[in-house]
Amino acid sequence: MTAMSDQDEGEIVPFPPLPPAPLPPRFPPDPRQRTRNRIVGAISSQLSEGEMQLAADIGVTGYPASGVNLGQIKDALEGALERFSMTTLQARWESDVRSFVLSVLHAWVQRAKHMKADLCDKGIAIEIETQDDHGYYHYRFDVFSGRG
């Protein structure tokens, strides 16, 4: 089902619309992030105002690579997509739902090296590989597992 957008009378917007992405958790910076933030701050203070600006992501949102809370991510994705039936997920998977799921994963997981989201018969299969100073971590879980 589609609805006309208020923005552009000729634009067709799929229904239901994708919700705003759920906000990721925030954590204090780890030692490596604190060092980076200190270096970026020192460089920024040395730049002449107006000549150059330095922008850097401080990297404190999302779960650390070694401590991803899969249950919280699963709940956030299922809550965001609760209005979508499996038929709607299948119909819109390639056009907008897959990219929505991947954008949520990128916001919720730090230091991701690989992310994959596949639509299956009864849900979404998620794989995430992360890396930090201590090693590599591989996570797998399902969203809407068993949903018919």
SS3 for the chain, per residue? CEEECCCCCCCEEECCCCCCCCCCCECCCCHHHHHHHHHHHHHHHHCCCCCCCCCCCCCCECECCCCCCHHHHHHHHHHHCCCCCHHHHHHHHHHHHHHHHHHHHHHHECCEEEEEEEEECCEEEEEEEEEECCEEEEEEEEECCCCC
Question: For 27-56, what is the mean pLDDT?
Answer: 71
- Indicate whether 73 pLDDT > 90: yes
Give the total number of structural domains in the chain.
2
Whole-number pLDDT of residue 88 = 93
State mean pLDDT over 125-135: 94
Is 97 within 8 Å of 17 (Cβ atoms)? no
Residues 133, 99 share a domain: yes
Domain residues for the domain of 46 are 29-60
For the domain that residue 144 is a member of, what is the CATH number? 3.30.1300
Domain boundary among 60, 80, 103: 60
Residue 82 lies in a domain: yes
Same domain, 74 and 92: yes
* 33 and 97 share one domain: no
Residue 35 has pLDDT above 90, yes or no: no
